[in-house]
């Protein structure tokens, strides 16, 4: 499986994401600059954390207009797995690829520490290696991770089982403890915690590796069926 790590001006978790895929997962991966005009050669698209365009206006608000985002949308429509972590999640929200919006943390402070997450839905292409209700430890590092949506959108998220991860102890005020959601189609995941920073016990834990293993497992199974 071949992954693209999208690099925006201000991305700073792209190297972590690259390491997770190449050295821990053992899959092919390349950095792709935000000016790229095609993502056709890639099987999975990864939008890393950081401060794209300095987080001016709003987090992700400028990055959503980057040239590559037209290709990200095209890949999403084609059913390819799209993962946005932290700033990547914020970009997916701004681009309308996921519902809702991100607000400042309730404390108005930047938070950087490991947190416990609960796996609410383990039937997605991003969570199928986890157990239902499994509690995992993944680090967070954000100042604007307070997820919000209106009541109608929240009802749809619940009805369609689109809430994949929730916080065991809410660190930022996020609505109903939401830490990660998928689109209705099930191939676009946005999450504030950083699974790419939890892929090796030397880093303090490897609970995040299962997320990337889930993507590869689903991709290989689908390609065997379609072969």
The C-alpha atoms of residue 197 and residue 191 are separated, in whole angstroms, by 13
List 13, 34, 86, 94, catalytic entry: 86
The answer to whether residues 47 and 196 touch, using CB atoms and an 8 Å cutoff, is: no
Q: Using the 8-state DSSP alphabet, how is residue 36 labeled?
A: -
Q: Would you write out the chain's pLDDT as a tens digit for each of its 227 residues?
A: 999 999 999 999 999 999 999 999 999 999 999 999 999 999 999 999 999 999 888 899 999 999 999 999 999 999 999 999 999 999 999 999 999 999 999 999 999 999 999 999 999 999 999 999 999 999 999 999 999 999 999 999 999 999 999 999 999 999 999 999 999 999 999 999 999 999 999 988 999 999 999 999 999 998 876 65
Contacts of 75 (CB under 8 A, 6+ apart): 39, 42, 45, 82
Q: In what order do the strands lie in the sheet with 28-33?
A: 28-33, 2-7, 44-47, 82-85, 188-191, 178-182, 163-167, 111-119, 135-142
Q: Please, what are the domains in the chain?
A: 2-226 (3.40.50.880)
pTM for the full predicted model: 0.96
Q: Is 13 tagged catalytic?
A: no
The answer to whether residues 29 and 5 touch, using CB atoms and an 8 Å cutoff, is: yes
Identify the three-state secondary structure at position 146. strand
Q: How far is CA 44 from CA 41, 56, 89, 106, 143, in A?
A: 9, 28, 15, 33, 27
What's phi and psi for 196, nearest 5 deg?
-70, -15
List 27, 120, 144, 196, catalytic entry: 196
Q: Is 184 tagged catalytic?
A: no
Q: Is 86 tagged catalytic?
A: yes
């Amino acid at each position: 499986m071949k992954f693209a790590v999208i690099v925006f001006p201000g991305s700073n978790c792209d190297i972590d994401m690259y390491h997770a895929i190449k050295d821990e997962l053992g899959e092919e991966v390349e950095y792709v600059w935000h000016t790229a005009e095609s993502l056709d050669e890639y099987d999975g698209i990864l939008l890393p954390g950081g401060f794209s365009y300095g987080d001016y206006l709003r987090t992700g608000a400028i990055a959503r207009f980057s040239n590559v985002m037209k290709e990200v949308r095209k890949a999403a429509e084609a059913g390819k797995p799209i993962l946005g972590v932290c700033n990547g999640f914020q970009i997916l929200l701004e681009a309308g690829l996921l519902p809702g919006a991100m607000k400042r943390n309730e404390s108005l402070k930047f938070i950087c520490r490991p947190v416990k997450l609960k796996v609410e839905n383990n039937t997605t292409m991003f969570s199928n290696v986890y157990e239902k209700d499994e509690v995992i430890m993944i680090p967070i590092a954000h100042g604007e991770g307070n997820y919000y949506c209106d009541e109608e959108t929240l009802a749809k998220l619940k009805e369609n089982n689109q809430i994949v991860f929730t916080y065991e102890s809410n660190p930022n005020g996020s609505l109903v403890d939401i830490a990660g959601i998928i689109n209705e189609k099930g191939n676009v995941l946005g999450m504030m915690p950083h699974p790419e920073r939890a892929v090796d016990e030397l880093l303090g834990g490897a609970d995040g590796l299962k997320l990337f293993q889930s993507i590869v497992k689903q991709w290989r199974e689908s390609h065997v069926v379609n072969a």
